[in-house]
């Protein structure tokens, strides 16, 4: 599929220059990104397959993807965390090495101050989810473009909020950056290096019963690695 830039009349980025426009209608690439967001948030095998097809098409337009996602991201309202989370997920799967700067900036941007009256699912918690997704999107870009792996070090160096820092350290370790990260972390925070990601299968405990009666339980099944984001009250962690 061919993709073309669609500039506004004054040659500025059309997604940022036309605040009232429907962002996913601005160009062929924007439409594909919209389809990616749609299928990402739709359950079922058919949607999973459709999402993969969208990503394959977007990778053919890699020079345009990052610019378009960045424009839509900036146009989205601050409170629309699920949309921006989804955009980061898509750019993590489809973006090229040029996505790294945008993802580092998003991961390390200043978060809103915590407001006691907001209770659960505060604006700060939602924005923390968005920044955390930027870290994971950067990891997926780095797996396809190893030259940007060291950009994770910029996230660690920026010392973001602890939940984001922990994710950056874990991701950096998976990319082989543990030694470099250890040099960046102060002694009191090097415990983060000992955290590792465990799959659901590793956490299933065998029952201790020794009789031959039916055990009466169904082993849990692991779901998709990523789902649409939700907020844990006052923890700022992804569920």
| Residue 238: strand pairing partners | 231
pLDDT, tens only, 137-153: 999 999 999 999 999 99
pLDDT, tens only, 160-181: 999 999 999 999 989 999 899 8
Angle, alpha carbons 191-195-199 (nearest 5°): 175
Alpha-carbon span 100 to 146, nearest angstrom: 11
Cβ atoms of residues 126 and 170 within 8 Å: no
The angle, 0 to 180 degrees and rounded to 10, between the axes of the packed helices 28-40 and 81-94 is 110
pTM: 0.72
The proportion of the chain whose per-residue pLDDT surpasses 90, expressed as a percent, equals 49
| Statement: residue 215 has pLDDT above 80 | no
Cβ atoms of residues 220 and 232 within 8 Å: no
């Amino acid at each position: 599929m061919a993709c073309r830039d669609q500039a506004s009349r004054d040659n500025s980025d059309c997604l940022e220059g036309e605040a009232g426009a429907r962002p996913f209608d601005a160009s062929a690439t924007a439409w594909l990104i919209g389809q990616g967001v749609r299928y990402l948030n739709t359950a079922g095998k058919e949607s999973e397959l459709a999402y993969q097809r969208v990503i394959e098409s977007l990778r053919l337009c890699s020079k345009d993807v990052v610019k378009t996602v960045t424009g839509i991201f900036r146009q989205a309202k601050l409170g629309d965390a699920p949309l921006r989370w989804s955009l980061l997920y898509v750019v993590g799967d489809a973006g090229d090495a040029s996505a790294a700067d945008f993802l580092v900036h998003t991961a390390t941007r200043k978060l809103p101050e915590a407001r006691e009256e907001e209770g659960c699912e505060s604006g700060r918690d939602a924005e923390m989810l968005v920044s955390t997704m930027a870290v994971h999107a950067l990891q997926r870009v780095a797996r396809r473009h190893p030259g940007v792996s060291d950009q994770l070090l910029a996230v660690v160096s920026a010392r973001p909020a602890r939940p984001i820092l922990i994710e950056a350290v874990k991701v950096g370790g998976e990319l082989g950056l543990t030694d470099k990260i250890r040099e960046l972390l102060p002694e009191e925070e090097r415990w983060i290096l000992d955290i590792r990601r465990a799959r659901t299968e590793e956490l299933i405990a065998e029952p201790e019963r020794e009789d031959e009666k039916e055990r009466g339980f169904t082993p849990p099944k692991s779901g998709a690695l990523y789902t649409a984001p939700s907020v844990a009250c006052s923890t700022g962690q992804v569920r």
